[in-house]
Structure 1
Amino acid sequence: MSIIKIGYNITTDPTFLDKQNAITLELSRKLERFHKLAVEGKRSSVQKLLDAIDQYPDNPQLKNYLSVLYGLLNETEKMYDTNKWIIAEHPNYLFGKLNLAHEYYFKQEYDKMPEILGSAMELKALYPDRDTFHLNEVISFYKCATLYFTAIGDIEQAEIRYDIMQELAPDSEDTETARLQIFAATMKAGHERFEKEQKTRISVKTRSQKITSTNKAPNFIHEEIDWLYSHGLYIGEEKLNKILSLPKDSLINDLELVLLDSIVRYGYFKKLDEENGWDEEKMNFVVHAVYLLGELEAAECLETIFDVLSQSDAYFDLFLGDFLTSAIWEPIYKIAINDLEACKEFMYTPGLDTYARTTITDVLEQLALHHPERREEVLTWYRDVIQFFLDSSLEDNVIDSDVIALLICNVIDIHGAELLPEIEQLFERGLVSQGICGAWKEVKEAFEHPDTYDKVKEILPMADRYDIITSTWASYRDELSSPPADFFDFSTSSQMPVRAEAKIGRNDSCPCGSGKKYKKCCLNK
């Protein structure tokens, strides 16, 4: 990774560029008015700015304002012509260079951007004789560099420059634009990688869901079980404790019957969903039953849990949703950690959903992290499962390259370098979805240089977990965040030239983009 070392000073002095930009005292008093003319976007302002340019021909900002105005008027060619005019008359004016670089960006002529901004995409390299830059120059330059690197697919270099922006001006709109651009590029690259890998991915043929005509509810020993069918995750600790206080054996029987009911009456519940929409209060009974069995540490019902995890993708979509990939491992951990052999046999079952199996590999990871004394036992389990995949053929309908990749991630998290020889064989056999865990070289490096991030997940009481889910998961928050932009949409920066800010008064907004008044932000820095 190439790291940028900033070898220059950064100032927020609004008069710093006055001499370079030929800003006289007379012009400085007018710049704010000219800036306002530009951003208001009125056609009548074009001639006013042209007259000002005739009066102050040595000032590049006025031409930049004209370029901004043409952009707002959707006169793109005139905007481009003005950008070239700025470069011709003011070749060292950074914002003129940035305007032209943006033009090349929007024309998708990315190879021309380094011709303007330098191959290093570094401000000091572009202006080697300067020792000081204004903060606005630095942030605008790195935003443009971020656009370039995301456009050519070099997300790593984009992130290096974003980190600098984040450190210098975390509240700047340009910094936020850079972040969104990197997010969009990362999503786009991930999508393209996913599409590519789908062509080589090894998957199993999962079972279809059996649908019966049964619609009669089961008879439970305890009437409190009916609460599970009429309350969502806001069921409350009082009701949960009341259920958990019931006689254990009969309660376990009732909870297993709930899980069996979800399978037998799948067709009934699916029809309800199709006719009325998914009802959080009526469709979380499977989640409730699994979590309650976890609270009871009901190891005797492990086969019933495996029966649930052996259902179809359609079943999981209806009853488990995000729980399957994010949360259901926790109650299963409480149920399964003393029967690793049964967990292993489940992994060997043909036709299972990817995330049903990785739920179990996640359980084993957390077992090793929570109980280091059992680490060797867990490593042996992983080794046996890996060997099973190596010994299997595609016809066995058990090899899932995504499962294998995610299992490798589990082994990395527990620093299981002892399994490197077996993992290398998986790569040699082409059984690994490398978009998930990385190529062999990256995986080997991850084992040799493990990160220090704590992979231990909290194992909480059911009520506490429900509180966290209902307060953090998007589907349970009252006000949802705006959805992310389509990752093919690179329109987060409009086709506008880079704006050199007008002279800033004490009570004007600060040029750093913080949203604060200048006198309360950069004035005294």
Structure 2
Amino acid sequence: MPNENKSLNALSENSKFIQLDYQITYDALPHKSFKKLPSAIKARIEELHDLTQAHPQRVIASLLDFIQKYPEVPIFYNYLTAAYEATGQRKKAETLIKEAYQRHPDYLFAKTNYALYCLRTQAAKKIPDIFEHQFDLKLLYPRRNIFHITEFVSFNSVMALYHHAMSHRESAVKYYEIVQKLEPNHYLTAIIKRQLYPTFFQKLRDKFARYLEKLERRFENKIESLDKVDAVEAKSDNYSNYSKEF
């Protein structure tokens, strides 16, 4: 992908819906916490990103170590979440998503990941609070004039999916069109398109997928409940044995 900055003012011509008075860059745009890292770790960031995409299982141990050593650097949470999701470890990914948002509520990807989690768990009404009731990047981060393309896509994709979930179709379509214009082949663009313009077979597939996900969550909750019961019973047995010794 070429390195370039794109002014988005042209996208908002003849529309007052969103004021896109900032620039989008494809160049690296490190988070401010990046400065706190040792040079040796900074040099590995690109490698970690590539491994997260190509060999996610191989990078998990390193990312866990970095989170323990540098908990103030949110990018490691983002990479580890992606690695967990890529390796099918959804429960761990969701736990990490919630932890990242609690620790770094101002970090955009912590917000967008948590918002997507809320959408998956039918908690879309939480999303305005996550973004401080701001539905434009510039309003959310007024001191910034440049955003990375991944920030732009993630934020506006969440906005499209949120408005769709709330049955605000016109708003959802406008966010979708903005994302589609810059990143037509992005996986989030495809997800929004499927939500807004589903084919008959996609409707059936999505309905079945949601049904399976509900069953899986019920099963996981049941297992957790049984584990808690077992833990309580084991604790009771320990207390009983302890009493008998005296």
Residues 34 and 42 in structure 2, CA contact (< 8 A), matched pair in contact too = no
1:76 aligned to which of 61, 67, 90 = 90
**Cα shift at 1:18:** 4.4
Residue 89 of structure 1 is matched in structure 2 by: 103
Q: Residues 70, 171 of structure 1: CA spacing in aligned structure 2 closer, same or farther, 3 A cutoff?
A: closer
Q: Please name the residue that 1:107 is paired with.
A: 121
Q: Partner letter of residue 19 of structure 1?
A: K
- For 2:117 and 2:186, how far apart are their aligned partners in 1? 22
Given residue 121 of structure 1, which amino acid in structure 2 is its aligned partner? F
**1:166 matched to 2:180:** yes
Gaps of 5+ in 1: 188-482, 496-525
1:339 aligns with none
The 3 A distance-change label for structure 1 pair 45 and 120 is: closer
SS in structure 2 opposite 1:7? coil
Residues 82 and 160 from structure 1, CA distance in 2 versus in 1: closer, same or farther, beyond 3 angstroms?
same
Distance 1:46 1:173, change over 3 A: closer
What TM-score, normalized by structure 2, do the two folds share?
Answer: 0.67
Residue 17, structure 1, aligned to residue 26, structure 2: no
Give 5+ residue unaligned stretches, structure 2.
1-14, 214-246
Map 1:424-463 onto structure 2 (within 5 A): none
**2:196 aligned with 1:175:** no
1:119 and 1:52 map into 2 onto residues whose CA distance is 32
Q: Give the 3-state SS of the residue equivalent to 2:147 in structure 1.
A: strand
Q: Cα–Cα, structure 1 residues 35 and 24, in superposed 2: closer, same or farther, change >3 Å?
A: same
C-alpha distance in 1 between matches for 2:134 and 2:69? 37
Amino acid at match of 1:96: A
C-alpha distance after superposition, 1:81-106 (max 9, x if no partner)? 21222223322211111111011111
Offset of residue 73 of structure 1: 4.1
| Residue identity opposite 2:186 in structure 1 | S
**Residue in 2 that maps onto 1:64:** 78
Whole-angstrom CA distance in 2 between matches of 1:152 and 1:136: 24
Separation in structure 1 between the aligned mates of residue 141 and residue 82 of structure 2, nearest angstrom: 25
Cα drift, residue 21 of structure 1? 4.0
Identity of aligned residues (%): 30
TM-score by length of 1: 0.34
Moved over 6 A (4+): none
CA contact (8 A) 1:118 1:125 kept: no
Distance in 1 between residues matched to 2:38 and 2:177, nearest whole Å: 36
The offset of 1:132, in angstroms, is: 1.8
The residue type paired with residue 30 of structure 2 is L
Aligned to 2:41: 27
Query: Could you tell me how far apart the structure 2 residues matched to 1:488 and 1:123 are?
Result: 33
How many angstroms apart in 2 are the aligned matches of 1:25 and 1:174? 33
| Deviation string, structure 1 residues 438-493 (Cα, Å, up to 9, x no partner) | xxxxxxxxxxxxxxxxxxxxxxxxxxxxxxxxxxxxxxxxxxxxx8512671769x
Q: CA deviation at 1:141?
A: 0.7
Asked whether the 8 Å contact 2:33–2:72 carries over to 1, the reply is no
Q: Where is the helix percentage greater, Structure 1 or Structure 2? A: 2
Larger Rg: 1
Number of the residue aligned with 1:98: 112
SS of equivalent residue, structure 1 residue 485: helix
Over the aligned positions, Cα root-mean-square deviation in angstroms equals 2.9
- Evaluate the alpha carbon distance shift between residue 487 and residue 115 of structure 1 in structure 2; reply closer, same or farther with a 3 A threshold: farther
SS in 1 for 2:197: helix
Map of 2:140 onto structure 1: 126
Distance 1:12 1:36 in 2: 16
Distance 2:159 2:42 in 1: 30
Separation of aligned partners in 2, 1:135 and 1:72: 21
Question: Which whole-Å deviations, capped at 9, do the CAs of 1:203-244 have from their partners, x for residues lacking one?
Answer: xxxxxxxxxxxxxxxxxxxxxxxxxxxxxxxxxxxxxxxxxx
Q: Give the distance between the partners of 1:116 and 1:20, measured in 2 at CA.
A: 21
Residues 1:45 and 1:168: Cα distance change in structure 2 (over 3 Å) = closer
CA distance in 1 between counterparts of 2:157 and 2:128 reads 14
User: Aligned equivalents of 2:169 and 2:47: distance in 1?
Assistant: 39
Residues 124 and 165, structure 2, Cα contact 8 Å, conserved in 1: yes
Give the number of the structure with larger relative contact order, counting CA–CA contacts within 8 Å between residues 6 or more apart. Answer: 1
Aligned equivalents of 1:50, 1:102: Cα separation in 2? 22
- Cα distance in 2 for partners of 1:56, 1:26 equals 13
